[in-house]
Structure 1
Amino acid sequence: MMLSLEDFKPVMLSDRAFFESHYAFFPQTHSSNTFTNMVCWNHFTPYRYAYVNGNVIISCTTEGVTRFHPPIGPRNPELMRELIRLALDVSDETPIELIDPDTAQWLQELDPELALMPDRNNFEYVYRASDLAELPGKKYQKIRSHLNRFRKNCSSTVEPVTPGNLKEVIKFLKKWSEWKGCRKNLVLASEVGAARYAVEHFNELPLQGLLIRVDSEIGAITLYERLNTDTALIHFEKGLPDCEGIYKAINEETAAVLVSEVEYINRESDLGVGGLREAKLRYHPHHMIEVYSLKRPNCASGVRGPFRCAQED
């Protein structure tokens, strides 16, 4: 077996059935491997994948640097060795990322010398759906207070995102983009691009959504999907500043819909953004989806386990 970049092909909208079939056997817990995430963000971070020996291997290229995700499928030490060799050949100091804890433990058993580091910025926040829907007890008192103020001050209605209001949702995203000054912020602009792609292909993706109207105009939206048997995943959540508390309202309304379907809601990572981290912690996550990164080994040390300095073999 010799894994190469030629084995990888672009993730395309037509690949949905393939990924859904594979993930039925290997359910995902982190948002980054979801088909929706990959096709929506392709314009900013092109995703490619290889299907080798029953495993899906995903690569992602950001600002010219290609990194890999660990194989998704039956454990295969030889394939893992090949992936590490390829990743060390073409990537930077973090050749493989988004390694789940079980795979990280397996890798350490295969080679205790591998440098695996927790990637806190990409840990994802998972909440009990009932907590977000009911906001129970003292710890949610401030949030309930903001929510009550929103409902008192704003005349609002809630409705699902449907083919009939998708054009309005696109107009809303344009308005949100202008308010945020996205033309001057590459990351925000790419996020709006991803959300717009999701809306434009809403019927071709496994998405559902809600929106809040304030005085008949859309003031907030959310787009989500079922991640696995017990968890829903929030992909996009956007609100305009016209009505204080609207983010809390869309969060609570979404949970109220999902609480009868799933036990947990994954609200993705904070990417190390301080304000975002504080906001996510304020909602008291039930648990985090932890991930690790493989760091490039110091081959000059002469340490050569089965996976060390694979590019020199």
Structure 2
Amino acid sequence: MKKLALEDYQLLKPYFATQPYGLCTYSLPSLIVWSNHVFQTFYVIENDSVIIANESGCRPEENHLLLPVGPSGLPPPEELAALALQTGYRQYGSVPEDYLEQTGKEKIGPYFIVSEQPEYDDYVYLTADLSQLKGNRYAKKRNLLHQFSRDYLQLNRVVTGPITPAEVVECLDCLEKWCEIRNCDVDQDLSLACEKEAVINALNHYEHLDMKGLYVRVDGEICAFCISSHLRPDMGVMNFEKALPHIRGLYQYLDNECAKHLFKDYLYINKESDMGLPALAESKHSYHPVLKIKSYRLALR
């Protein structure tokens, strides 16, 4: 297998263009920007499909394959088992629940032990819900938007627009400020340090990876930005959302603007998982997902 790199994007893009899986893991740009010295991704093209392997430098017991991506449809369990034996990766991760539903657990059971990965369940929202924020359930969000509008928008203190090469350096500065607040570089919080590296990769290469971004400038300074990518024809992924916390209502404004502008061509917005973090789970639930896509692990018997 070859280590996944930026220059592989154009080669692999056609395989991912119409892939059916709803978990954010199957976003090719996301796989590329998250591949680093700790979490490495490898691939090989075989029988018109891309075989992806993810490895963790600190938790090798979690090394796994993803479901093959290509035009051949859902692979049967016996093919997955043979591939696992062939590659030496004895388990699959980020297997979406619809694979189990369409294939049937009774067919999977003879080959694999199936277990849930709740920390990797993805939150999916209707684009219309997040762009319009209608109804009583979004009253708190609208209230924060009104406060932001009163204190900033109505005073002409805000400029919003698509990220271009001219804004990248300022977005990186915003990321540094956000990370200082969140202690991204503290060793014990490896996930934040790796996310920081992934955001830097995305900002530096977003054009090459067909990612889209939006920034919010307050009083002349970029204080928030978001980056998205394609997942499947009806769904995009909100890969990264960063907003400095001292500006009340800024995050809600950013989220609303991203839904309006970055996802207008998609029915659904995938806002990824909560990684098992209660505060993140509470935040994601507060936007009322229309569904959660469960993630499963398939381990060879």
Q: Measured at CA, do residues 111 and 232 of structure 1 come closer, stay the same or move farther in structure 2, by a change above 3 Å?
A: closer
Equivalent-residue separation in structure 2 for 1:12 and 1:76 (angstroms) = 29
Equivalent-residue separation in structure 1 for 2:167 and 2:145 (angstroms) = 25
Q: For residue 68 of structure 2, what is the amino acid of its counterpart?
A: P
How many pairs were matched up?
A: 286
In structure 2, the gaps of 5 or more residues are none
2:18 equivalent to 1:16 = no
Instruction: Calculate the aligned-residue CA RMSD, in Å.
Output: 2.0
Q: Within 5 Å, which residues of 2 pair with 1:205-284? A: 205-258=209-262, 260-284=264-288
Q: Measured at CA, do residues 35 and 283 of structure 1 come closer, stay the same or move farther in structure 2, by a change above 3 Å?
A: same
Are 2:21 and 2:96, in contact at CA under 8 Å, matched by a contact in 1? no
Are 1:133 and 1:255, in contact at CA under 8 Å, matched by a contact in 2? yes
Equivalent-residue separation in structure 2 for 1:111 and 1:194 (angstroms) = 34
Q: Measured at CA, do residues 141 and 54 of structure 1 come closer, stay the same or move farther in structure 2, by a change above 3 Å?
A: same
2:52 equivalent to 1:58 = yes
Residues 35-78 of structure 1: per-residue CA shift (max 9 Å, x gap):
21111111131000122222222111111512221223432555
Q: Within 5 Å, which residues of 2 pair with 1:148-163? A: 148-154=146-152, 155-163=157-165
Equivalent-residue separation in structure 2 for 1:102 and 1:183 (angstroms) = 37
Are 2:168 and 2:203, in contact at CA under 8 Å, matched by a contact in 1? yes
Displacement over 4 Å in runs of 4+: none
Give the superposition deviation at 1:108: 2.8
Q: TM-score of the superposition, structure 1-length normalised?
A: 0.85
Larger radius of gyration: 1
Equivalent-residue separation in structure 1 for 2:206 and 2:264 (angstroms) = 23
In structure 1, the gaps of 5 or more residues are 1-7, 297-307, 309-313
SS of 2:226 mapped into structure 1:
strand
Q: Measured at CA, do residues 181 and 25 of structure 1 come closer, stay the same or move farther in structure 2, by a change above 3 Å?
A: closer
> Which is worse superposed, 202-211 or 101-110?
101-110
Residue in 1 aligned with 2:132? 134
Equivalent-residue separation in structure 1 for 2:263 and 2:84 (angstroms) = 41
Q: Within 5 Å, which residues of 2 pair with 1:1-313? A: 8-43=1-36, 44-62=38-56, 63-65=58-60, 66-73=63-70, 74=72, 75=75, 78-85=78-85, 95-105=91-101, 106=103, 108-113=105-110, 114-154=112-152, 155-184=157-186, 185-258=189-262, 260-295=264-299, 308=301
Give the superposition deviation at 1:275: 0.7
Are 1:97 and 1:293, in contact at CA under 8 Å, matched by a contact in 2? yes
Are 1:31 and 1:268, in contact at CA under 8 Å, matched by a contact in 2? yes
Are 2:172 and 2:200, in contact at CA under 8 Å, matched by a contact in 1? yes
Q: TM-score of the superposition, structure 2-length normalised?
A: 0.88
Residues 240-278 of structure 1: per-residue CA shift (max 9 Å, x gap):
122012111100011111453221111111111101111
Alignment identity in percent? 29
Q: Measured at CA, do residues 135 and 102 of structure 1 come closer, stay the same or move farther in structure 2, by a change above 3 Å?
A: closer
Equivalent-residue separation in structure 2 for 1:139 and 1:64 (angstroms) = 40
> Which is worse superposed, 19-28 or 246-255?
19-28
Are 2:225 and 2:254, in contact at CA under 8 Å, matched by a contact in 1? yes
SS of 2:288 mapped into structure 1:
coil
> Which is worse superposed, 10-19 or 252-261?
252-261
Equivalent-residue separation in structure 2 for 1:96 and 1:258 (angstroms) = 31
